[in-house]
């Protein structure tokens, strides 16, 4: 997107930028770190104290041998090495939020939904990971810490260990959340409320499905059609019927599906930020407008009825 897109976004009050060492997506050795590099080139021309910058360290279990030779456990050595490399690419001396991109341990993520004890592996104890992050916070290179793609058990472990050992508490969890995936509400919402941990909602448009473009053209250009690796979460049996049903609600109430989907996510009290992405200025304008939209009680009631009919079709 042209530089005018960032100027427009900043003018609309957008100040939270989220990236990761692994990006861009889909991950490979050639693209590793490039998104941070691009963000850093842009960031050095901005007033740093006006930007809330977040990035993530990649974890084990995803076969990414090109990152630190495949040694991705969340231990002190790897955490420090990852942050130092990210800071260099981002051309800054600190990040506001440093996140663990996915758990070190065995747990179902990215479209998996069955916990399989047969996949157990060694993992770094939570207290050891927190102690390493605490050093970076003390040094001023990390302001706050967060999790991503995390479960209720994992979040409680981090909170309990932080309290027990007087280490930094996580302030946020970045999980998928959309009309097609409201699993946050099934356990994490209560923890977040009682422990003051916010949701950073990614994929609010479910990889473009909730833009509605695939209803008109199942082969429309986008990550779902270009990169088959994303099909696991979004090819489940009730996904397409749910998208069509939500699209009908939006149409009848004079909205695009994207506007309704984004307004719903942004309206949830537990959501601290709705993470959007756009390829064109037109998409960016619609995304920003959607996040500030207001849904009527009637629309919300229809959404809840559909949620019960198509219960989390893309967990």
Tell me the CA distances in angstroms from 286 to 157, 205, 271, one per residue in order. 39, 12, 19
The two three-digit tokens of residue 105, written as one number:
């341990």
| 133: Cα within 13 Å, side-chain hemisphere | 30
Closest CA to 98 of 133, 138, 139: 133
User: Residue 248, Cβ neighbours under 10 Å: how many?
Assistant: 13
The two three-digit tokens of residue 50, written as one number:
């006006």
Backbone angles phi, psi at 65, to 5 degrees: -70, -20
- Residue 23 annotated as catalytic: yes
The residue from 23, 123, 177, 246 that is catalytic is 23
CA separation for the pair 175, 113 (Å, rounded) = 14
Residues with catalytic roles: 23
């Amino acid at each position: 997107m042209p530089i005018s897109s960032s100027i427009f976004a900043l003018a609309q009050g957008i100040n939270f930028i989220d990236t990761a060492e692994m990006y861009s997506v889909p991950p490979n050795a050639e693209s590793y770190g490039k998104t941070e590099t691009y963000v850093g080139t842009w960031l050095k021309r901005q007033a740093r104290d006006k930007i809330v910058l977040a990035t993530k360290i990649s974890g084990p279990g995803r076969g990414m041998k090109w990152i630190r030779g495949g040694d991705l456990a969340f231990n002190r050595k790897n955490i420090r090495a990852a942050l130092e490399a990210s800071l260099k690419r981002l051309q800054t001396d600190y990040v506001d939020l440093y996140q663990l991109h996915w758990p070190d341990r065995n747990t179902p993520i990215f479209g998996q939904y069955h916990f399989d004890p047969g996949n157990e592996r060694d993992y770094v104890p939570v207290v050891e990971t927190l102690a390493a992050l605490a050093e970076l916070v003390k040094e001023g290179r990390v302001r706050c810490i967060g999790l991503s793609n995390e479960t209720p058990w994992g979040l409680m472990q981090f909170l309990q260990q932080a309290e027990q050992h007087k280490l930094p508490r996580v302030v946020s969890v970045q999980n998928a959340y959309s009309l097609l995936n409201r699993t946050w509400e099934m356990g994490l919402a209560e923890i977040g409320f009682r422990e003051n941990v916010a949701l950073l909602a990614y994929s609010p448009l479910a990889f473009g499905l909730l833009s509605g473009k695939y209803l008109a053209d199942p082969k429309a250009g986008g990550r779902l059609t270009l990169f088959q690796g994303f099909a696991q979460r979004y090819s489940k049996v009730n996904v397409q019927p749910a998208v069509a049903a939500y699209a009908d609600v939006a149409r009848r109430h004079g909205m695009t599906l994207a506007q309704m989907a984004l307004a719903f996510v942004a309206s949830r009290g537990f959501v601290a930020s709705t993470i959007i992405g756009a390829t064109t200025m037109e998409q960016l304008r619609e995304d920003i407008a959607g996040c500030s939209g207001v849904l009527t009680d009637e629309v919300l009631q229809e959404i809840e009825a559909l949620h019960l009919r198509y219960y989390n079709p893309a967990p």
